[in-house]
Amino acid sequence: MFKNFIKHNLLAFIMLTVLFLLDRFSKFFILKLLEQDTKLDYYLNSYLNLYLIWNKGIAFGLLSFDQIKIYNIITALILIIIFIILVFIVRSKGLTKYSLVAVLAGALGNVFDRIYYSAVPDFIDFHIGEFHWFIFNIADIFISLGVFCLICAELFINKEIKENEKNY
């Protein structure tokens, strides 16, 4: 039974580890750049800057609070959601499983920062002209792509499976 569990979840664990480490490396790199300058603000091209902010809220800096109790409650809720996602990963397969792994990797990367730094370093500043999107990080990309793939799986793949089951 345990061998079967490992066999069905090994690729997911490897993917989770690689994505988590990519996020950690990107944040480590940005924080090393900050050690060299007092402010991190690098122009990369006309659409992208590296600009470090410390996010105490949730995704994309939403719901930022200064109160430590609210911050701790949000962190505890994130940890509960991480556990629920982990249960779903074990019970899922295919695109749904790996989409959830991407969400989990991003969530783990950001919750690590919330616990270790008491804030999440966001540093990717995407903009078109004067319009700037929320500043985000690699973990946020994994979460967003995972959610997008979950929506696609539900709309297209799972719908097709359910229709095929009705025909039998």
Catalytic residues: 122, 140
Q: How many helices (H) and strands (E) does the chain have?
A: 5, 4
Q: Identify the H or E element spanning 120.
A: strand 120-128
Fill in the DSSP letter of residue 60.
Answer: G
Collapsed DSSP state (helix, strand, coil) of residue 47: coil
| Whole-angstrom distance, CA of residue 134 vs CA of residue 60 | 5
88 Cβ contact partners less than 8 Å away, ≥ 6 residues apart: 100
* Phi, psi values for residue 125, rounded to 5°: -110, 95
